[in-house]
Structure 1
Amino acid sequence: MRLSITLHFERPFIIPYNYPHYLYSFLLNAIRLSDEDVARRVHNNKRDVKFVASRFQPEGRAEKVENGLLVESGAVKLHVASTETALLRALIDGLGRGRERLHVMGKRLLHCELELDETPEHLSGKRFRTLSHVNVYYNNPPNGFKQWDLSPVGQPNSPFKNEPEIWKRLVFENLKSKYLMVYGEPYNGDFDIKVLTKNPKSKRFFIKRDEKTGKPIYTQAWEFDFKMWGEEKLLRVAYDLGLGMRNPHGFGMIEIEKRLR
């Protein structure tokens, strides 16, 4: 299930370039206003059903400034999806309660409008695009790296001989783990994904500071068009919970390209 949300903030409103922390905090606080238990599940239990969010998208004119996009109207569009209706209900209720209480970078939420998106009937073989950057990382890769953010088309300095194949395998493994959470049984079918963009755009995001050293931790993620094939139940998991990792922070939301529906 997927929601389209138009958020109206105090002006002038800036969509931060480094949006993941602000986006996650905003959504988690909205859920918490309605249901503390659901918010606790989202934040503390990594092996629980989650949600996926798009990045903030400006409504109307936007201008690049030092730390983000200045949105003249104060209105931004956001998409949120999940397989768990209780989570989305808590989010909807929390947004209603959160007027003047929820904020992003000090700017209060004034009001919002919500719509339930139509669910596509078939996903296999369709052309998709990313609504938020896709992040896939590998802990303890070769050559001594502590963590490596994988590109869907490979990188010149990659520690892997065939980075795109590793990326594809990790995407599939991540989807299978989500499938197990949603349906309570392992996925035994096939899956394939083909990136159609020759040179996907990437972006570096600040995630958090290391608890021991205090040094900033960054991640790299990519945007691209693609097709995927598999059983519809698995592809529905990708549609409702996102591709790759860090989905509640605004990574991995996808949609069928509108011109090709």
Structure 2
Amino acid sequence: MRFKLYLSIDKHTFGNRLPFNYQYELSAVIYKILAGTNQAFAEWLHDNGFVSDKKIFKLFSFSRLQIPQYRMEGSFLKILSDSAEWYLSFLPERSTQEFIQGVFREQQFELGNRQARIRCRVQSIEMLSLPLFTEQMSFRTLSPMCLTLKRENGTDEYVAPDHPMAKELIRQNLLDKYKAFTGNDFPNHDAVFDFKVTNQPRSSLVTIKADTPQESKIRAFGCNFQLTAPVELMKICYDCGIGSKNSLGFGMVETTKENNKQEN
């Protein structure tokens, strides 16, 4: 279930600059808003999520802010627009239209850090209609895709979507999410599956919990891609993101015009 939030930006209270790395702060905004109206739901979402073979999935994703006009100033964004759009997508059925629209309606929140922050207000929220899901679809990332391989020492190696292992990482991640959500293994593990990047991936190094002892850096990639998969897995990709760390703002996707060409 996907929502489009229309935000107004108050540039007078704190200014009009935002750190380039603000995904972790956006994630915190979601949890804070949920906690303000339904503490039990927020705690469940944050602390538990859905579990598959000891892996925890939060099963939601979100985009970066879609800002019409801005410019880069070092490691900051100078926002020139008075408005922005923000996409949120939830797989859990408990996140009904009425619940999410009620939770986020007219919310006001601050985003950024001590060096640069803005104040935003939710002007309106719209539930978006689902695309027609087929077994082959084209997408583009609204937030960069994070794919991880485990090294022998247990640390993560971040790989690009054109890496030889990317296809299998994505396939297994979608199967794990399906099991976490339904409680069952996907019934057809031999189903046709393919993943192809259709443009040059764009690398981003995203800082999480900047300027704290817990600071970490995640390498992620924006790209366009074509996915071939059963419709059930295609819907999971659309609703809660591709790859890992979706609830930190990675891997949200939208369909592209190529899908319309396939339908015509």
Same fold by TM-score, threshold 0.5 exceeded? Answer: yes
From 50, 61, 85, give the equivalent of 2:59.
50
After superposition, the C-alpha distances for 1:55-99 in whole angstroms (9 at most, x for unaligned) are 1110x3212223332222332211111122433654432322633
SS, match of residue 244 in structure 1: coil
TM-aligned CA distance change 1:118 to 1:218, over 3 Å: same
How far does the alpha carbon of each residue in 1:132-169 deviate from its partner, in whole angstroms, 9 at most, with x for none? 10001123x15x57220011223xxxxxxxxx2x2221
Counterpart AA for 1:72? L
Kindly indicate whether residue 146 of structure 2 is the aligned counterpart of residue 135 of structure 1. Answer: yes
1:79–1:215 CA distance, 2 compared to 1 (3 A): closer
2:111 alignment counterpart: 104
What CA deviation, in whole Å up to 9, does each residue of 1:14-44 have, x standing for no partner? 3431122111011111111121112112211
SS at match of 2:30: helix
- Aligned counterpart, 2:81: 73
Q: Please tell me the residue identity of whatever aligns with 2:137.
A: K
SS at match of 2:251: coil
Contact kept in structure 2, 1:33 and 1:98, CA below 8 Å: no
1:121 partner letter: L
Which amino acid in 1 is paired with 2:95? L
For residue 57 of structure 1, give the secondary structure of its aligned residue in structure 2: coil
Equivalent position amino acid for 2:235 in 1: R
Distance in structure 2 (CA, Å) of the matches to 1:86 and 1:145:
34
In structure 1, what is the equivalent of residue 92 of structure 2? 84
Distance change (3 Å), C-alpha of 1:90 and 1:70: farther
Secondary structure in 2 matching 1:221: strand
Residue in structure 2 matching 1:116, options 114, 127, 131: 127
How many Å apart are 1:205 and its aligned residue? 0.8
Aligned to 1:185: 184
Alignment of 1:1-261 (within 5 A): 1-11=1-11, 12-46=15-49, 47=51, 49-58=58-67, 60-87=68-95, 89-96=98-105, 98-99=107-108, 102-105=109-112, 106-139=117-150, 141-142=151-152, 146-154=155-163, 164=164, 166-187=165-186, 188-189=188-189, 190=191, 191-197=193-199, 199-208=200-209, 214=213, 216-258=215-257, 260-261=259-260
Cα distance, 1:194 vs structure 2:
1.2
Amino acid at match of 1:202: S
**Percent identity (aligned):** 23
Change (3 A) 1:57 1:68: farther
Query: 3-state SS of the aligned residue for 1:153?
Result: coil
Q: TM (normalized to structure 2)?
A: 0.83
Contact map agreement 2:18 2:118 (CA 8 A) in 1: no
**What secondary structure, in the 3-state scheme, does the structure 2 residue paired with 1:171 have?**
helix
Asked if structure 2 preserves the Cα contact closer than 8 Å seen for 1:202 and 1:222, the reply is: yes
Cα distance between partner residues in 2 of 1:90 and 1:68: 34
1 CA distance for matches of 2:18 and 2:134? 31
Residues 67, 116 of structure 1: CA spacing in aligned structure 2 closer, same or farther, 3 A cutoff? same
Normalising by structure 1, report the TM-score: 0.84
Native 8 Å contact 1:49 1:182 kept in 2: no
Q: Give the conservation status (yes or no) of the 8 Å contact 2:61–2:240.
A: yes
Output the aligned Cα RMSD: 2.3
Task: Tell me by how many angstroms 1:216 deviates.
Answer: 3.4
Distance 1:123 1:253 in 2: 18
Q: What SS class does the counterpart of residue 180 from structure 1 fall into?
A: helix
Structure 1: segments with no counterpart, 5+ residues: 155-163
